[in-house]
Structure 1
């Protein structure tokens, strides 16, 4: 297959942990050809197909100069066997517009994973509200009074913006309510921006587990991201320690319930975040942790993913 990866600049990759790199490495190992571009390189000219300025690359196996450009030029997205949208968040206006162009490319015959409409219609934090049986007490609102009422009921809460990533903008407010008003003002911007508020889950001390779902099926190991020091956030970007472990019975129940639903919607890969027994996010833009799980357990998540990609692209 010819695979196009739409991603952040290759020069920014930390290949020892990057999931997109792991996908590329496994795809090349199987004999597939690799092309790359950034979202800013995608364009659509009147009367023409959605195209991009792409670089055709091979992986060198080296640590520093880890890729070599074989050729570059304009190519229609419909000319590839698979297009992988792997741009990291934030999901901003430009990401939103990119999904529209990718959806047009689909109409022209492109096979895009995850599906553009599914990316656009599946806000990663808000999506959990569809599955109340798997989440803890949660409120989404702009109303400061509603947030204070939620705190009065649950006493120990987490507040976070709906568009945050990597643990950005997450606050914990304990029973004393210290700085609650100021935190609300910071996050909801005088009622302009919605905030997610959740009851604090003490099980975070055991890790914020990333449960991967590939092709509708759970990967048998998750990565528990354990907060360090005085942090309440387990995110690796916030200094959390990643510990791979087998799925618990509850993890498996969640993944087996959500997997077929997400796959039906066009989400070939999803990362479900679980604290204790509760889902806190469903990540679909560019889920990670492939290499951490492989390095600690030998479970080759990249191979499972390319298996699923080959099956989906040829269906």
Structure 2
């Protein structure tokens, strides 16, 4: 197969932990060819198919010069067997427009994973509200008075922006309500921007678990991102420690319930974040943790992913 990865610049990859790199490595091991581009390299001209300036690459065994690239060329996205959208958040206006270009590429005949419409229609924080039986007390609002009432009811709360990533912009306000007004003003921009507010889940001390869903099925191991020191956030980007664990009974229940729904929407890969027994986010843009789980458990998540990708392409072959 010819695979095109739409991703951040290769120079920014930390290959010892990068999930996109793990996907590439497994795909190349199976004999598939690799090409890469960034979202800004995609072009759609009147009367033409969606194309991109791409580089064909081959992975090397050198941990520093880890790939060899051919000269850049222009190619229709539909000329690849699969296009994998692996650009990291934020989900800003340019990401939004990229999903429209990718959707047109689908009309040209491209196979895109995850599906661009599913990426666009599945906001990673808001998506949990569709599954109330699996989430804790949660509020989405712009209204400062709503937030104050939620705090009065639950006492210890977490506030976060809807477009954050890596733990960015997450605040905890305890029963004393210290700085609740100031934090609300910072996040909702005086009523101009929506905020997610959730009851604080003390089980965070055991980790914010990333449960991976591939091809509608949960991976048997999750990565618990455990906060360090006085930090309330478990995100690896915020200094959390990643510990791989077998899925709990509740994790399996969540994964088996959400997996078929997400797959039916065109989400080949999703990362469901679970604290205790509660889902807190459903990540679909570029879920990670493949290598951390493999390094600690031997569960080859990248192989499971390429299996699912090959099966999806075979199932849709004419």
Aligned to 2:213: 213
- How far, CA to CA, are the matches of 1:91 and 1:116 in structure 2? 12
Aligned to 1:141: 141
Structure 2 unaligned blocks of 5 or more: none
- How far, CA to CA, are the matches of 2:35 and 2:75 in structure 1? 10
What SS is found at the alignment partner of 1:58? strand
The 8 Å contact of residues 57 and 71 in structure 1, kept in 2 or not, is answered as no
Aligned to 2:114: 114
- How far, CA to CA, are the matches of 2:69 and 2:142 in structure 1? 48
Aligned to 2:233: 233
Aligned to 2:293: 293
- How far, CA to CA, are the matches of 1:46 and 1:70 in structure 2? 28
Q: Return the offset for 1:13.
A: 0.2
Aligned to 1:78: 78
Report Cα offsets for 1:60-115 as digits up to 9, x if no partner: 11100000013420000000000000000000000000000000000010000000
CA RMSD between the two structures:
0.4
Aligned residue pairs: how many? 315
TM-score normalised by structure 2 residue count: 0.99
- How far, CA to CA, are the matches of 2:249 and 2:194 in structure 1? 33
Aligned to 1:13: 13
The yes-or-no answer on 1:180 pairing with 2:180 is yes
- How far, CA to CA, are the matches of 2:313 and 2:294 in structure 1? 24
Q: Return the offset for 1:314.
A: 2.0
- How far, CA to CA, are the matches of 2:179 and 2:113 in structure 1? 42
Aligned to 2:30: 30
Report Cα offsets for 1:221-245 as digits up to 9, x if no partner: 0000000011000000000000000
What SS is found at the alignment partner of 2:168? coil
- How far, CA to CA, are the matches of 1:287 and 1:25 in structure 2? 17
The yes-or-no answer on 1:281 pairing with 2:248 is no
Aligned to 1:192: 192
- How far, CA to CA, are the matches of 1:298 and 1:97 in structure 2? 38
Q: Return the offset for 1:197.
A: 0.2
TM-score normalised by structure 1 residue count: 1.00
- How far, CA to CA, are the matches of 2:111 and 2:62 in structure 1? 31
What SS is found at the alignment partner of 1:314? helix
- How far, CA to CA, are the matches of 1:309 and 1:137 in structure 2? 36
- How far, CA to CA, are the matches of 2:213 and 2:71 in structure 1? 34
